[in-house]
Structure 1
Amino acid sequence: MSRTRVKICGTTSAEDALLAQDAGADAIGLIFASISKRRVDVAAARRISLALDPSFGRIGVFLDASLDEVLRTAHEARLSAVQVHGEVGDAFLDVLLNFWPVLRALRPGDEIPTPRTGLSLLFDAAKPGGGVPFDWRSVPFPAGAWLAGGLSPENVCEAMTLLRPFGVDAVSSLERGPGRKDPARVRAFVEQSRRFDGERFLSS
């Protein structure tokens, strides 16, 4: 039985990145969208990436970025995968998939792209990072997809029980303030996710 992946998004410092790694998460999210209060620049993202174990996931989060910007940033920041929000066409995804695994972020009601090798789907709330879950029953949730949008230590097991996602992703519920992680909440989120996996294994 595969383990659910856990991503701690909106990471802005090496200290918080190492916290996520030490807590047992699988990846962090580094946000490059200019509208985000958790945005990091390329130099900061590179420092964070280099502080981590090379096998630990470093996922860059982009909103309506040009292909050249994503390619350049992913290379310079030493990312291991990219997550794209906004208007993204098939040709855009095909080029990215030549270089990195891609998480395609979708909101409820968005069209699901054609499956491709290296492409995963991430279902998020209409306002990413807003801390409010969407109706988990409102989307056709395919096997192998990630879930984000308002997840917290308090509700992640419920979400996992309902949808059985490949991965779970949290931001605002794990913070003391925008971009500043709460260590106890980060650890609790990872622990609750792992507890669900353990109970699922015992009941199978």
Structure 2
Amino acid sequence: MTGATFPRLERGAPIASLIQVAGVHDLAEALALRAAGVHAMGLPLRLPVNAEDLTETEAARLVAEVERLPAPPLLPVGITYIADGAEAAAFCRALGLRRLQLHGPVTAAELARLRREMPNLFLIKSLVVRTEDNLPELLDTVRELAPLADAFITDTHDPATGADGATGRTHDWTVSAELARRSPRPVILAGGLNPDNVREAILRVRPAGVDAHTGVEGPDGRKCPDRLRRFVAEAGRGFAEAGQDAAHAGSGRTGV
């Protein structure tokens, strides 16, 4: 495991050196993540573009199975484009989720509604880096939603498919680096990360965590144990070399 302490993804707890992998099909894959040293697993559901890896019934069963595992834990994170606060709360309750990553165009009002319904829910909001420089727009989002979100995650937009995430593509890391530097909340880096580029990405962006999806899969579309181990090892190297800057990413050192 990377980092001095295990990142808990709980309200008020610091995030440092987090390693998350999204797109888990079943318990076998979840156990492969855990064995490799991954901290959190992302479960993408109710998606507008990409196919889902499992049904919501299967996801609820998997969340329950993973929550029962002994230490070290593997933290389930729901990933969805739901934009309605009440619907998002119902979704979390149905699946037994305590952590949610929102990728849709969620307004501050709906995020506040979700926060009122589930005050202890750990909320991660996406910041999608597009082909043009949309940094000013993303900084506005950070300013507006930081009082309600616990963390942000940067990801890549694919104009060919319309997907915001799970694209297998990197984006302009200078944008993510600026967001990580100026956000008052921790910023997790996603978008085209794999064992070959994650160390460099960490050193350039100084994020609080990293997230991979297709970059740790084999040709069959399932998570590859060797690629998972390499990803965790290279991410660990990057976080160790980045030192305290990475450990305290998202502290709002310069402000938005």
TM-score, length-normalised on structure 1?
0.89
The structure richer in strand per residue is 1
Letter in 2 for 1:188: R
Per-residue CA shift, 1:59-94, capped at 9, x if unaligned? 111114433332122112122211111211001111
> Structure 1 107/201 Cα, relative in aligned 2: closer, same or farther at 3 Å?
closer
Q: Using the TM superposition, give the Cα deviation of residue 10 of structure 1 relative to its aligned residue in structure 2, in angstroms.
A: 1.0
Tell me what 2:225 maps to. Answer: 183
Tell me what 2:192 maps to. Answer: 150
Q: Distance in 1 between matches of 2:220 and 2:82?
A: 21
Secondary structure of 1:107's counterpart equals: strand
**1:28/1:58 contact within 8 Å kept:** yes
% of aligned pairs identical? 26
Tell me what 2:127 maps to. Answer: 106
Q: 1:10 aligns with which of 11, 23, 31?
A: 23
Counting only pairs closer than 5 Å after superposition, residues 57-76 of structure 1 correspond to structure 2 as 57-76=75-94
List runs of 5+ in structure 2 lacking aligned partners.
Answer: 5-15, 159-164, 245-256
Q: Distance in 1 between matches of 2:218 and 2:61?
A: 22
Counting only pairs closer than 5 Å after superposition, residues 112-123 of structure 1 correspond to structure 2 as 112-113=141-142, 114=144, 115-116=146-147, 118-123=149-154
Counting only pairs closer than 5 Å after superposition, residues 43-54 of structure 1 correspond to structure 2 as 43-53=57-67
Q: 1:36 aligns with which of 47, 50, 59?
A: 50
**1:37/1:179 contact within 8 Å kept:** no
Larger CA deviation: 111-120 vs 97-106: 111-120
Per-residue CA shift, 1:135-167, capped at 9, x if unaligned? 101343234201100011100011100111011
Q: Highest CA radius of gyration, 1 or 2?
A: 2
Q: Distance in 1 between matches of 2:98 and 2:35?
A: 18
Letter in 1 for 2:34: Q
Tell me what 2:171 maps to. Answer: 134
**2:216/2:227 contact within 8 Å kept:** yes
Counting only pairs closer than 5 Å after superposition, residues 73-92 of structure 1 correspond to structure 2 as 73-92=91-110
List runs of 5+ in structure 1 lacking aligned partners.
Answer: none
**1:33/1:39 contact within 8 Å kept:** no
Give the length in aligned residue pairs: 203
Q: Does 1:124 align with 2:163?
A: no
Letter in 2 for 1:134: H
Q: Distance in 2 between matches of 1:71 and 1:156?
A: 33
Per-residue CA shift, 1:102-142, capped at 9, x if unaligned? 11111122432322255211110013111110010134323
**2:80/2:102 contact within 8 Å kept:** yes
- Runs of 4+ more than 4 Å apart: none
**2:203/2:239 contact within 8 Å kept:** no
Q: Using the TM superposition, give the Cα deviation of residue 48 of structure 1 relative to its aligned residue in structure 2, in angstroms.
A: 1.2
